[in-house]
Structure 1
Amino acid sequence: MPAITSLKFEIFGRVQGVSFRYYTRIKANELHLVGGCRNTAEGTVEGIAQGQKEAIDIFKQWLRYQGSPRSRIDDAHFEEKRVDCEEFTDFSVWH
């Protein structure tokens, strides 16, 4: 069984009020990733995604350089680690 990669992320810029979390969930589902994301009080979007390393790499590029159509991404922080199994059953928008 291939190892699971767990990615913590925080995205900075104009990422609230532009459907960023909605589009993030769509992209995660396309890539068969599980986890979730939420807005922070500081105006960022943070979350966790888990899945195959190749899918995580694609997701990171999307988070850093694309995002939702009306977003503006100024910076992205990522932290990866290997885990034994996925800790989520789907990718959700947390509140």
Structure 2
Amino acid sequence: MSIKFVKFEVSGKVQGVFFRKYTKKFCEKYNVRGWVLNTDHRTVQGVLEGSEASVRSVKHWLQKVGSPKSRIDRCVFLDEKIVQTKQFSAFKIITDDQEVKMLTF
């Protein structure tokens, strides 16, 4: 089975509105793995990995829905590709400052 991989960045009112928590919940519902974090420039970035249909559903949610109190101004997807091997076993919220610095793109 092929695995869809994509990076994302969402801007708008996406920090302080439980955007990461709702992203994790939505990804788990659709069996999408990866991670999400808050950036220093007030955006949310992350990586999605899963079936094409599941990743498509999460991409739509990131672009059009978001958490209840969020406002999505822009959502960009980068490095979208099909991979043969999964890199993640679950979806996680990254909060550790060192890890955030290493993963922010």
Same-fold call, TM > 0.5?
Answer: yes
The offset of 1:85, in angstroms, is: 1.3
Q: Deviations over 1:27-70 (max 9, x none)?
A: 00000010010000000000001000011111100000000000
2:49 aligned partner: 50
More helix by share: 2
List gaps (5 residues or longer) in structure 2: 96-105
Supply the AA of the counterpart residue of 2:90: D
1:59 aligned partner: 58
Number of residue pairs the alignment of both structures matches: 94
Supply the AA of the counterpart residue of 1:12: S
- Normalising by structure 1, report the TM-score: 0.97
* Partner-residue secondary structure (3-state), 1:5: strand
CA RMSD of aligned residues (A): 0.6
Query: 1:41 and 1:81 mapped to 2: Cα distance?
Result: 27
Query: 2:13 and 2:47 mapped to 1: Cα distance?
Result: 19
1:22 aligned partner: 21
Query: 1:84 and 1:3 mapped to 2: Cα distance?
Result: 6
